[in-house]
Amino acid sequence: MSDPAGFRINSPGAARRAGPSRPNRISIGGVLEWIDRFGARGGPVDVALAPFALLSSAGLLVAATPRGVSRIWMVHPASPDSLALESFLAQLEAAGIPPSFRARNRVLRKCLEELAGYFQGCLRKFETPVDWAGQGTPFERRIWSRLRRIPYGKTASYGQLARSLCGRSALGPRAMGPRAVGQANGRNPVPILVPCHRVIAADGTLGGYSGGLEVKKALLELEGATVAGVEPS
């Protein structure tokens, strides 16, 4: 797949026609339901499917408004809870979403270009804006903002992230503890651009990752980050 497939969805109620989504699985119904809900607030949402160069046959489904990237889903056929890319594209066409060879949204085009550079090892900092308006709680959005400050090739533990914010919060230390940070990290709607993969366990091991530990390991290896049990390439 040398070119990303881009398409725009403006159809209210498309999610209802596509059928229900399944928990923890990227599905046509789940994607269209999110776009119906988010697009009602932010206007048209452009979506493109791009290759995930670190894992064969995997891909990233990127959604963006004119203000910024709002969501990135990982389509990972190695997982039994994911759909193969070809099947996913076929279902999108069946749902009435005609693919094209070029995303119309300027922000989305920039994101796809930067993702390609990142996977080639040429880009270390994303300049594409992020638009997570209406997503997450105020606490979660603070965590997501803080994630963007972790440099390329570096890591931070859940506890370090919690301590960096604890003194500025009126929520108290328990609400800002490592577990709460980990939960907010797992709900990050824009992985890679907002690098939740750079947050690891206190003992230096990988910890968790909503996209799967194989993906987290591949991203950290690409960046040359040192993690217990993971040798930088």
What is the rounded CA–CA span in Å between residue 113 and residue 181? Answer: 30
Query: Which residues have CB under 8 Å from 28's CB, separation 6+?
Result: 18, 19, 21, 88, 91, 92, 95
The residue annotated as part of the active site, out of 111, 122, 166, 196, is 196
Tokens standing for residue 211: 């996209």
Query: For residue 49, what are the β-bridge partners?
Result: 5, 61
Give Cα separations from 119 to 55, 128, 226 (angstroms).
10, 15, 18
The distance from CA 222 to its chain's CA centroid, rounded to whole angstroms, is 17
For residue 76, count other CB atoms closer than 10 A to its CB: 22
Q: What is the DSSP letter of 198?
A: G
Is-catalytic flag, 196?
A: yes
3-class SS of residue 197: helix
Residue 70 — φ and ψ, nearest 5°? -110, -25
List, by residue number, the catalytic residues: 196
